[in-house]
Amino acid sequence: MITTIGEIVRGDAAVFPPYLYEAYRSTLRRAPRLPLVEVPLTASELIRHRLDVSRVTDGDADLTRNAATGGEALGQRIIVTGRVMDEDGLPVPGALLEVWQANAAGRYIHKRDDWPGPLDPNFLGIGRCLTNPAGEYRFLTVRPGAYPWGNHDNAWRPAHIHFSVLAPSWSQRLVTQMYFPDDPLLPLDPILNAVPEGARSRLVAAYAHDVTEPHWALGWRWDIVLAGPRATAFEAREQSAA
């Protein structure tokens, strides 16, 4: 993909996409053009918020049934699971994961998604869960379909699931997308390809037969590693203060 790539990147430029990536047209008028101002992390960014998670239920992680219609979503049933960790491999427990995705036909329930793909009355395409003490999460959903978009002629987004990760430390905030490895649309997608080549595969889940449940659902594993201050230094400081 030949395109103009901007130089303004937040975080490690070998990992994070630049704000300006011309092939993804929405970046043209929204990417900042002036250099980011580098500042130290302060107590403001290291705040650990105590999330009010009382409303998160186990059922929220089951996208096949959380439309609460009594019916089940159509499509290939899949389990998506993995661990949320910091760069040292330490688990990030208590992180709120929120996911959204198209249905098996590639359609979102959204007023701005109006292509003629069928809606599924039993599928909302939204879910959430909290990571457990080992940093693990698990969703039951259906495999999303690809869908067309207006970025360029005959543009189709590869199947993907949007992930929002709200870690207890706000400095580790991440919003990203998870893809599937056997998708011929991956090399054609400017949003995935905006990620530096060496880091792109980190957004692609791996088929996991040990996660697959017989006569039930296919398993996919996808781990998430959060940038930001290492938990080690951070927890140690908290302990010494205690």
Partner 1 sequence: MSALPVTPSQTVGPFFHDCLLRDDRCEATVSDEGGAPIRVEGRVVDGDGTGVPDAVIEVSHAAGFFRLGTDDEGRFSLSTARPKRVELDRGTMQAPHLSVAVFARGLMNHLLTRIYFEDEPSTESDPILRLAPESRRATLIARRVSEDSLTPLYRFDIVLQGAGETVFFDFRSPAR
Residues 149-188 that bind partner 1 (CB under 8 A): 162, 164, 166, 170-171, 173-177
Q: Is 9 in the site for partner 1 (CB under 8 A)?
A: yes
Least distance in Å: CB of 209 to partner 1? 23
Q: Is 110 in the site for partner 1 (CB under 8 A)?
A: yes
Cα gap 148→106, rounded to integer Å: 8
Q: Is 162 a catalytic residue?
A: yes
Q: Is 209 in the site for partner 1 (CB under 8 A)?
A: no
Residue 177 or 212 having the CB closest to partner 1: 177
Residue 1 or 47 having the CB closest to partner 1: 47
- Contact string (CB under 8 A) for partner 1, positions 27-46, x = contact: xxxxxxxx-xxxxxxxxxxx
Least distance in Å: CB of 221 to partner 1? 14
Tell me phi and psi for residue 57, to 5 degrees: -115, 160
* 222 contacts 139 by C-beta, under 8 angstroms: no
**b/e 98-114 (16+ beta carbons within 10 angstroms → b):** bbbbbbbbbbbbeeeee
Residues 218-237 that bind partner 1 (CB under 8 A): 223-227, 229, 233
Residues 50-89 that bind partner 1 (CB under 8 A): 50-53, 55-56, 85-89
Of the listed 108, 128, 137, 143, which one is catalytic?
108
Structure tokens at 98: 């929120």
Q: Is 10 a catalytic residue?
A: no
Residue 31 or 74 having the CB closest to partner 1: 31
Question: Which residues, other chains included, contact 238 with Cβ-Cβ below 8 Å and sequence gap of 6+?
Answer: none
Sign of CA dihedral 234, 239, 241, 242: positive
Number of residues that bind partner 1 (CB under 8 A): 85
Structure tokens at 138: 């698990």
Pairing state of beta strands 136-142 and 147-149?
unpaired
- Output Rg (C-alpha) for the chain, integer angstroms: 19
Residue 49 or 152 having the CB closest to partner 1: 49
Amino acid at 232: T
Query: Which residues are catalytically annotated?
Result: 108, 147, 157, 160, 162
